[in-house]
A = this chain, B = another copy of it.
């Protein structure tokens, strides 16, 4: 029985995590904390794996606490950029038995979307990403979109493709989106949306679009449960749920 602590437990995602962990075989919630609670209760409760759905400003400190206390981490909080990843990797260098999983997205469809984008990248000269989320989201682009852009950029580089060509000469600031490793990412924020992403590839007379729609935050839960199960045997930093799948 894996003892799980949930950070951000009273948030929308955290509450779902609590339910999903309780419902899953072989794991239990032993600590459900939110912003005003003491993290020391993670240690007191014997928490083995922490699931963090908190805030970009809080998450790094939470991971530090976990690593220091030999607690594995499954991080779903957005905004976990390269410098944060590097920081965590440094911390883990001195911890042989602690694993941290940072997944920009726990929905299976999102993982497949990223993997297919990576596979398609070498066949197309042009590629852009459009991600669409509810209008309460704090960060743009989404962690998933930024991660996808980096995967696509790496696949292009490996295939010897150069920069994505862009003929724009007259523009209003921001129209052409954000550049993440040379890939344009556009962030739409709209009431009524949940979490959606399109990767668009363009070639001669044709386009290929891979789209993922998360219509309900329960879509993340099978992936979170799988992450909790997998991270206990996977020391070091793991980026992306796909590493725990057989793809």
- A149 CB to closest chain B CB (Å) equals 10
Measured CB to CB, the residues of A under 8 A from B are 56, 79, 107-110, 112-113, 116, 119-120, 123-128, 130, 132, 135-141, 146, 165-180, 184-194, 200-219, 221-222, 247
Given contacts A138-B167, A138-B169, contact A206 B215 (CB under 8 A): yes
Asked if residues A186 and B130 are in contact (CB atoms below 8 Å), the reply is: yes
Other than the known A205-B214, A206-B219, what 15 A-B pairs have Cβ atoms closer than 8 Å?
A: A112-B123, A124-B191, A128-B190, A130-B188, A138-B170, A166-B189, A168-B187, A171-B187, A175-B185, A190-B207, A192-B202, A192-B207, A205-B219, A206-B213, A209-B211
* List of B residues within 8 angstroms of A201 by Cβ: 109, 190
A181–B200 alpha-carbon span in the complex (Å): 28
* List of B residues within 8 angstroms of A217 by Cβ: 205
Looking at the complex, which one of B126, B128, B178, B206 makes contact with A212 (CB distance below 8 Å)? Answer: B206
Asked if residues A203 and B191 are in contact (CB atoms below 8 Å), the reply is: yes
A179–B167 alpha-carbon span in the complex (Å): 21
- A159 CB to closest chain B CB (Å) equals 12
A180–B171 alpha-carbon span in the complex (Å): 12
Asked if residues B113 and A170 are in contact (CB atoms below 8 Å), the reply is: no
Residue of B nearest to A245 (CB): B123
Residue of B nearest to A222 (CB): B204
Q: Which of A109, A116, A218 has most chain B Cβ within 10 Å?
A: A109
* List of B residues within 8 angstroms of A208 by Cβ: 109, 112-113, 210-213
A162–B76 alpha-carbon span in the complex (Å): 33
Asked if residues A219 and B204 are in contact (CB atoms below 8 Å), the reply is: yes
* List of B residues within 8 angstroms of A222 by Cβ: 204
Q: Which of A135, A188, A201, A214 has most chain B Cβ within 10 Å?
A: A188
* List of B residues within 8 angstroms of A186 by Cβ: 130, 175, 177, 186, 188
* List of B residues within 8 angstroms of A113 by Cβ: 208
* List of B residues within 8 angstroms of A184 by Cβ: 188-189
